[in-house]
């Protein structure tokens, strides 16, 4: 197998989160795969709303647009339920895999229905829409929020309990497989697997493997329709008055 | 009726397009309604791809976020098929109407099925997705592109012929009502109405009236779910290095 | 704005209900709008079943067919979940808006999912079907009955409590916006808005504004398909033997 | 098998049509089944629009409501695509089968997709809605109109040619089975079967057999939900001023 | 009515079950109908999993393929939720009715939504898929398992209690009609009907009547598409080494 | 990466086809992956009908049930559109990937809509059903048959022309990505890619990579629902009388 270089884009500006995601990506990656994490230079410090999601989409696209590091073979977009994947697909000439869809694709192979457990309840709608447009919502039994905010995630006991409760609600709604609807939570994956005896899919790991797969098979985004390369034109990526930012 | 002040946001940075949209908005507005056009200070000069659409979404949100003009009662988002409406709904405390959904809502009242005719074929998918998530795709019979780019629109005969051909395809697919899938084309609306004897809905006009309606009825975006106000946090809106833009 | 004359048709023969509906319509109408209420000369005294609904549909169509008052610019059909709107669209040459669809159209603009709260549980299915065919069911999270019959509505405390309970069930099912699934309940709208902090849409008000909108934009029902004018033919509207009625 | 008495309701006031329908019903009925045709005393002379359909629904319900002939065991409603079946189900205490749904139910048993061929194109939408709400639209590949009006049906060659052309369009859309979307056309059924080598289902025959089936199995309409008996109340069935009718 | 000979295929190898099914079929059959039960010579002794279902499908097809008894006019496949109906439709030249779809078709005629109550919860998904592909899932409100295994069915009190509980859950989910999702349970049908005052449809009875109907109307499976006769080719139906079986 | 041993099951008894499939699987497999082809000892010599598909499902399950070779880590089922995957998932304790769903999952990552091109038109329905139940049909624009039978595939020019024509029809229906709906056609994949400039996904290659992925991530089929292990019971896998087979 030839070496594969994967760029993983964080959806927010928090460097620690990028590092956590990269750790997860590397743990999943094959031996010949190199993972490079990219933190957007601008955008939200965490993505937890539609507003954040659109800001994040533009920032991630801009990050890849202005990237001038070593070449890469695939992009993994590590924002669960966040926007932007079609834009990145237009921009870059390599396969692009979003962790939301990636987790759902693998989950479909492991059971008749899957469920997503995530942090804030306000994100559930965004995740549902993302799965719908990716074409994998049919077998999604439920998207369940824990009500936990980002700060609450610091308390591991409370986090575990909240995710277990959400997972049970997903299972009661018919989920035979769980998708972890957030990035950087390896421990949680183990806990849920052990306690509920259900397969638990992590989006970052799923996306890394799917990216490796597309590269290995020589498959690229279609240019013959809605995802053709954007026309060259004048675009500005943020306010030109730096004082204003 | 009390006066209504509507802000209409262009989805691109082209001032002439804003002016054209504002003319259309004013033509539709009631006597007590004032229309203010906003051109994003950044973003694409025209929105014709997913990449443009996400860039536009962030730029429009930023434009409203940093707006410091006179107060307003509603926002009309004038980018057909473009992203961002949920983000703007979170941000502002007044009703928000996107011209894509607005046209579809009115079209549903005028016939059993409607069709959308638009410029580039690559935009059709984006429009379909936008209608789907807005909840009004069920009665959409077809979204048809003319194959015309923005530059081609300068030739009125060719434009007319292309839109008539697209409209006939929509009608053959079952459309009883047409939606004009682009902004600033008043003449075209008249031509299609006259030649095809079908009602033709213009998105800007539809959105202005729906915005007036929501204001008149005292209705605002729900905060009780996915569209709650975004949490305060650190967000940056574009690259901080001005040389880079 | 030129003056708009709206005819509002009650779905039943109860004059007091017509008056209540007209009060609601006038409260929503713009300053240049005149509202005329029409009570069918025949039909059910209240519409609470499929049988009532079909009887009401024929009676409302007949009422408009035999109407010989001053001209009007639009029709608002004020029977929540009742049949007949396509028939009225065929008959009259002006825009027709049904309060069921009208409320749903506006609700879609205010949140990601809406819910309907109504009186009898037996009506929920009829309302669901009406929303489905109007093309706006996708974002409907739930239609919930209160179990209250028409007579129970006389007890305001019990009514309020029942509607609050139904509204909470709708919210738990994902509704971010409420639609009041019955006419003539202005006080209830205020109560629900205040207690649940959700936008509440009233169908009569919504339909009046949408009717004004269609008139202002010069839009009429499409004749190019399923809603063409009915062919002239022999039709009789009720038993010819008056003793039998 | 005990004797079964089926009332077949015509959807219009044309006695000859009732007779034609009764002939078809008797040809399909089992040896122990008696068929009684009912022609509404009022309504349209033929049902070819939404307006006609709602008028027909009320008239058919009234016909059954005021019926005082010998008892019967089931009702067959013989208006293809016409409204009213839920109202009749509420009214009578015996099973009710509408020819639209009946034909579709049998067609589903004969192939993976079925298609409907009917007379006027304007009726296609009504038929689609009727199939959708009956729960059998999923496997309907197409509803195709011939463009023939009722008068044109007098010319057998033209009728045959038009239905053959429509049937071929349905087959090209994936139909493996045909449904005849009109009543009283036995000859046509034979022609289509012979020429296209497809099974052709006639709604009247299908409904008679399904009615016999429900009677034989002792099955009746559920009262536990949307189809409960209508409450007694004041209802008038047509204008009280006979001069006006 | 000419005599009708119906072959009823059990989905498993248990002769007692075939006898029970034949008793139910005969109870539903018309006076001129003869019922012949076929027990597959191979396959599972009961069908309670996907593996069983596929094994059963092949065994039932083989049973009919190698059948050399007297001729028959229709096939009823008596495995609730089991696979194989399209294969049998290809194989035989007479109408084929599966008890799953048959029950759903009749249930749709009796109420706005129906629910299925069955034994093992693991079978619910299979039943849902079967209804979906048969084109009758739209009006299915719920498929509910009792958690009872085959052995538990020996205890009539427990069985009754479990099915009553499942039926109540189906009703709470909106079912107005019940379908018994298993064969050979006549007593249960009576109990549910009496206690819940809902119509209860038994699949074997429904399928027998639908088979009689198709025969009476001279309707056969379409050969013009996916259900054409299989090409002659080499096929082996089970391991050739008898020691291995 | 630890070594992965994949068993690839042919859906028919033709050894040459197994070899062709294994060649394709090995070409796609990673360096640490061993591929073992299994040819069912019984079943159809090619699978081209529903009957063949059910026979094939049972034979493939039996082949794995009686397999006593070296252990393996995953199963790839190489019958495009064929039945049986849920049964195999129940049976074996390792991940199972069917080539139909596998191709669709990858295709979804490469464009907004995909299309399938396959051999016989009669198989299109089976493929559509398979995609639907796998949860990936939403973004499938079309499944197109070439009309070619297995014997015609011997003529490479005719095959190429037929598949190119089918691919163009898929593209016209909106497909941005193609799926090759048959196994063992590597040359064809290249031709389509080159001539149409669309990504073309081969199911065997896709399934091998997805199987490697599930193994690498330690993911297995869920036992918590419809795919629990089948209960031990008496099952016979084919006629016990060898003379009869």
Q: Which residues of F touch E91 (CB under 8 A)?
A: 51
In the predicted structure, residue D241 carries a pLDDT above the cut 90: no
In the predicted structure, residue D142 carries a pLDDT above the cut 90: yes
According to DSSP, the β-strands at B235-236 and D140-145 are unpaired
Break chain F into its structural domains and give their ranges. 4-99+205-244, 100-203
Fold adopted by E100-202: Rossmann fold (3.40.50)
Measured CA to CA, the distance from residue F59 to residue F65 in angstroms comes to: 10
| Residue in A closest to F221 by C-alpha | A110
pLDDT given for residue D191 in this prediction: 87
Residue F58: which of E58, E121, E227 has the nearest Cβ?
E58
E strands of A11-88, at which residues?
33-38, 43-44, 74-78
| Spans in chain E with pLDDT lower than 50 | 1, 245
Confirm or reject contact between F82 and chain E (CB < 8 A): no
In the predicted structure, residue A245 carries a pLDDT above the cut 50: no
Confirm or reject contact between E42 and chain F (CB < 8 A): yes
ipTM: 0.96
Confirm or reject contact between D229 and chain E (CB < 8 A): no
Strand partners, B137: none
In the predicted structure, residue F234 carries a pLDDT above the cut 80: yes
Strand partners, A77: A9, A98
Closest CA to E117 of E187, E189, E52: E189
Is C206 in contact with C102 (CB distance < 8 Å)? yes
| Residue in D closest to C125 by C-alpha | D226
Confirm or reject contact between F173 and chain A (CB < 8 A): no
Is chain D touching chain E, with at least 3 CB–CB pairs below 8 Å? Answer: yes
Residue B84: which of A54, A227, A236 has the nearest Cβ?
A54
Q: Which residues of E touch D86 (CB under 8 A)?
A: 112
Q: Which residues of E touch F151 (CB under 8 A)?
A: none
- Cα three-residue angle B151-B157-B160, rounded to 5 degrees: 85
**Interchain contact, F31 vs A134, CB within 8 Å:** no
Is B230 in contact with A49 (CB distance < 8 Å)? yes
DSSP three-state, residue C99: helix
**Interchain contact, E196 vs D224, CB within 8 Å:** yes
Q: Which residues of E touch F243 (CB under 8 A)?
A: none
Confirm or reject contact between B197 and chain C (CB < 8 A): yes
Fold adopted by E4-98+205-244: Rossmann fold (3.40.50)
DSSP F61: H
**Interchain contact, C111 vs B138, CB within 8 Å:** no
Token digits for F198?
């669309």
**Interchain contact, D42 vs C13, CB within 8 Å:** no
pLDDT given for residue E244 in this prediction: 57
Tell me the torsion sign for CA atoms E191, E194, E200, E202: positive
Q: CB under 8 Å to C208, separation ≥6 — which residues?
A: C6, C8, C25, C28, C29, C33, C35, C76
Measured CA to CA, the distance from residue B128 to residue B121 in angstroms comes to: 12
Confirm or reject contact between A93 and chain B (CB < 8 A): no
CATH of domain D4-98+205-235: 3.40.50.12500
| Residue A43 burial (CB count, 10 A) | 31
% chain A with pLDDT above 90: 84
Confirm or reject contact between D58 and chain E (CB < 8 A): no
Interval F118-147 mean pLDDT: 96
Measured CA to CA, the distance from residue A199 to residue A114 in angstroms comes to: 10
Is chain A touching chain D, with at least 3 CB–CB pairs below 8 Å? Answer: no
DSSP notation for D138-192: TTEEEEEE----TGGGG-HHHHHHHHHHHHHHHHHTT-SEEEEESSS-HHHHHHH
Q: For chain E, first and last CA: distance in Å? A: 45
Measured CA to CA, the distance from residue C69 to residue C66 in angstroms comes to: 9
CATH of domain A100-203: 3.40.50.12500
Q: Can you state the angle between helices D186-196 and D15-28, rounded to 10 degrees?
A: 50
pLDDT given for residue D245 in this prediction: 47
Mean pLDDT for chain F?
Answer: 93
Residue D222: which of E176, E205, E214 has the nearest Cβ?
E176
| Residue B15 burial (CB count, 10 A) | 11
Measured CA to CA, the distance from residue E178 to residue B18 in angstroms comes to: 59
Closest CA to B233 of A48, D10, C96, C80: A48
Interval D184-213 mean pLDDT: 91
pLDDT given for residue E179 in this prediction: 97
CA distance D236 to chain C (A): 5
CA distance E242 to chain D (A): 37
Confirm or reject contact between B223 and chain C (CB < 8 A): yes
% chain F with pLDDT above 90: 84
Q: Do domains B4-98+205-244 and B100-202 have the same CATH topology?
A: yes
Confirm or reject contact between F86 and chain A (CB < 8 A): yes
| Spans in chain C with pLDDT lower than 70 | 1-2, 150-151, 184, 186, 240-245
Chains touching F, CB cut-off 8 Å, 3+ pairs: A, E
pLDDT given for residue C245 in this prediction: 46
Q: CB under 8 Å to D137, separation ≥6 — which residues?
A: D104, D128, D131, E138
Confirm or reject contact between F103 and chain A (CB < 8 A): no
Q: CB under 8 Å to F1, separation ≥6 — which residues?
A: A30, A31, F30, F32, F216
Confidence at D62, pLDDT banded by 50, 70, 90? very high
| Spans in chain B with pLDDT lower than 50 | 1, 245
Confidence at D243, pLDDT banded by 50, 70, 90? low
Polymer length of chain A: 245
According to DSSP, the β-strands at D235-236 and C43-44 are antiparallel
Q: In terms of pLDDT, which residue wins out, F140 or C187?
A: F140
In the predicted structure, residue D83 carries a pLDDT above the cut 80: yes
Interval A192-200 mean pLDDT: 91
CATH 3.40.50.12500 fits A4-98+205-231, yes or no: yes
Report the b/e string of A108-146 with b at 16+ CB within 10 A: bbbbbbbbbbbbbbbbbbbbbbbbbbbbbbbbbbbbbbb
Confirm or reject contact between C137 and chain D (CB < 8 A): no
pLDDT given for residue B164 in this prediction: 94
What are the pLDDT digits (tens) for C127-156? 999 999 999 999 999 999 998 876 677 788
pLDDT given for residue E149 in this prediction: 75
pLDDT given for residue A186 in this prediction: 67
> Which residues 146-165 of B are in CB contact (within 8 Å) with A?
149
Residue F61: which of E51, E125, E235 has the nearest Cβ?
E51
Q: In terms of pLDDT, which residue wins out, A243 or D182?
A: D182
CATH class of domain segment(s) C4-99+205-244: alpha beta
**Interchain contact, E222 vs D199, CB within 8 Å:** yes
- Cα three-residue angle E167-E173-E175, rounded to 5 degrees: 60
**Interchain contact, A199 vs F205, CB within 8 Å:** no
Which backbone phi and psi does C238 adopt, to 5 degrees? Answer: 120, 165
pLDDT given for residue E2 in this prediction: 59
E strands of E71-172, at which residues?
74-78, 96-98, 114-118, 140-145
């Amino acid at each position: 197998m030839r070496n594969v270089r994967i760029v993983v884009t964080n959806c927010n500006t928090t460097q620690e989160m990028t590092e956590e995601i990269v750790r997860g990506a590397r743990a999943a990656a094959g031996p010949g795969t190199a993972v490079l994490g990219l933190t957007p230079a601008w955008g939200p410090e965490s993505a937890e709303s539609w507003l954040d999601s659109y800001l994040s989409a533009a920032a991630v696209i801009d990050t890849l647009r202005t990237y001038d590091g070593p070449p890469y073979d695939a992009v993994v977009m590590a924002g669960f339920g966040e926007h932007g994947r079609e834009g990145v697909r237009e921009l870059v000439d390599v396969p692009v895999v979003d962790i939301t869809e990636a987790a759902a694709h693998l989950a479909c192979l492991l059971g008749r229905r899957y469920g997503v457990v995530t942090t804030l309840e306000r994100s559930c709608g965004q995740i549902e829409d993302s799965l719908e447009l990716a074409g994998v919502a049919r077998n999604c039994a439920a998207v369940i929020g824990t009500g936990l905010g980002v700060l609450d995630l610091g308390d591991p006991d409370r986090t575990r309990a909240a995710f277990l409760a959400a997972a049970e609600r997903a299972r009661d709604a018919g989920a035979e497989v769980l998708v972890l609807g957030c990035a950087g939570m390896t421990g949680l994956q183990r806990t849920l697997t052990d306690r509920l005896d259900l397969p638990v899919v992590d989006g970052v790991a799923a996306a890394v493997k799917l990216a490796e797969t597309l590269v290995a098979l020589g498959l690229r985004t279609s240019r013959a329709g809605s995802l053709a390369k954007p026309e060259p034109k004048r675009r500005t990526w943020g306010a030109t008055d730096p004082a204003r930012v």
